[in-house]
Amino acid sequence: MDIIFANTPYLWILIGIVLLFSEFLLPGTFVMFLGIGAIFTGILSRLVPMEFYTEVIVWVVASFVSILLGGSLIKKFFKSESSVDPFIKDDFLNQIVPVEIDVLVGRHGGKIKFQGTLWDAISKDSKIPKGEYVRILSRENLTFTVEKVES
């Protein structure tokens, strides 16, 4: 066990290199920053002798700083873009669909079946029991607002 603790700087560097190469197998960039923190810890512990627990703390802090600085650099070089396509229409509006689980007034819990999938639904007026049909008025995220269709 003493041989492992005597060579911790090299182990940190080896772990850092393994983490950097594992980035090719894992999605995202998180593991790369952990690897950078490990390599930094290995180099620092080679220059300044320290206890293993101190090395772990240095690795955590170095990884955290690496994530913060590296994340902001990545965001600067790889800007994300979002756009709204004006040609995509709200194809769900005014659709008549069945109620699968009672739709409640202003509360989640109700479900409707739309395009073969169950969706959350709420009503603004009255409770709508299972088996009835409703008209879709609007959508907010994954929840539809519906009204009862009079037969």
Q: What is the pLDDT of residue 66?
A: 93
Cα Rg of the chain, angstroms? 28
Tell me: do 73 and 116 sit in the same domain.
no
pLDDT digits (tens, 9 = 90+) for 81-117: 655 555 556 677 888 889 998 888 877 888 888 888 8
Last residue in a domain, options 78, 106, 131: 78
pLDDT digits (tens, 9 = 90+) for 20-40: 999 888 777 789 999 999 999
Place of tokens 């739709």: 103
Average pLDDT, the chain: 84
Is 86 among the domain residues? no
Is 87 among the domain residues? no
pLDDT digits (tens, 9 = 90+) for 51-75: 989 999 999 999 999 999 988 888 7
Mean pLDDT within 6-19: 89
Is 34 among the domain residues? yes
Tell me: do 1 and 73 sit in the same domain.
yes
Tell me: do 59 and 103 sit in the same domain.
no
Last residue in a domain, options 49, 78, 107: 78
Confirm if 42 and 12 have CB atoms less than 8 A apart.
Answer: yes
Give 16's pLDDT tier (boundaries 50, 70, 90): very high
Q: What is the pLDDT of residue 61?
A: 96
Residue 80 clears pLDDT 80, i.e. is over it: no
Q: Count of domains in the chain?
A: 2
Range of the domain at 111: 95-148
Last residue in a domain, options 36, 52, 78: 78
Which residues have C-beta within 8 Å of that of residue 91, sequence separation ≥ 6? none
Is 84 among the domain residues? no
CATH number at residue 139: 2.40.50.140
Is 116 among the domain residues? yes
